[in-house]
């Protein structure tokens, strides 16, 4: 994964489900890894709002509690997320608070379950003002939320 530099070709906002897939070794892991490798090869910078921290940890914890993954897999998944991915992900340039109003505008009209989605979409929208930007996700509903509320946002929906 590449760090942002002035020579980056674009910016990709990584949805939590991408890293959850990789860290917990879901069947979609290879697809997620291939997408990240493609962005890296094209010299794109990786971004995510801070909500990715709680989303990933919550999903991994739920998998542990449901018996989908065991304690050792859970610990490794948390470590991989923390040490393997977070160092390469840049937070929003102006902080998460700068995205809050727009994130809520995007979420408005949808259930509270879309609260986090608004931050990913708002961040992608903000980054697109400076150049190429995409939101990478496995979540089909994000496509509709973005299309209806932030039509300039390009969503790269991976097959799950």
For the chain, the domains span 10-157
Specify the pTM: 0.93
- How does residue 149 score in pLDDT terms, banded at 50, 70 and 90? very high
pLDDT in tens, 84-128: 999 999 999 999 999 999 999 999 888 887 789 999 999 999 999
What CATH number belongs to 10-157?
Answer: 3.40.50.1010
109: left (phi over 0), alpha (psi -120 to 50) or beta: left
Q: What are phi and psi of 39, to 5 degrees?
A: -65, -40
Percent of the chain with pLDDT over 90: 89
Output DSSP code: residue 111.
-
Task: With CA atoms as reference, report the closest residue to 8 among 87, 82, 90.
Answer: 90
Q: pLDDT at residue 157 above 80?
A: yes
Query: How far is residue 75 CA from its own chain's centroid?
Result: 21
- What mean pLDDT comes out for the span 49-75? 97
Distance (Å, rounded) from C-alpha 5 to C-alpha 77? 28
Distance (Å, rounded) from C-alpha 108 to C-alpha 105? 5
| Residue-level pLDDT at 144 | 92
- Residues composing the chain: 160
Whole-number mean pLDDT of the chain? 94
Q: pLDDT at residue 2 above 80?
A: no
């Amino acid at each position: 994964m590449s760090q942002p530099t002035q020579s980056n070709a674009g910016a990709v906002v990584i949805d939590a489900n991408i890293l959850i897939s990789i860290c917990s070794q879901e069947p979609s892991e290879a697809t997620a890894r291939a997408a990240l490798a493609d962005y890296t090869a094209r010299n794109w910078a990786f971004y995510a709002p801070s909500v990715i921290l709680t989303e990933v940890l919550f999903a991994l914890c739920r998998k542990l509690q449901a018996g989908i993954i065991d304690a050792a897999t859970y610990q490794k998944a948390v470590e991989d997320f923390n040490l393997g991915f977070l160092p390469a992900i840049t937070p929003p340039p102006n902080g998460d608070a700068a995205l809050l109003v727009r994130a809520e505008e995007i979420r408005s009209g949808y259930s509270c379950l879309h609260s986090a989605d608004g931050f990913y979409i708002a961040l992608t929208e903000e980054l697109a003002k400076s150049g190429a930007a995409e939101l990478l996700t496995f979540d089909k509903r994000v496509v509709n939320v973005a299309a209806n509320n932030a039509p300039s946002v390009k969503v790269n929906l991976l097959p799950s």
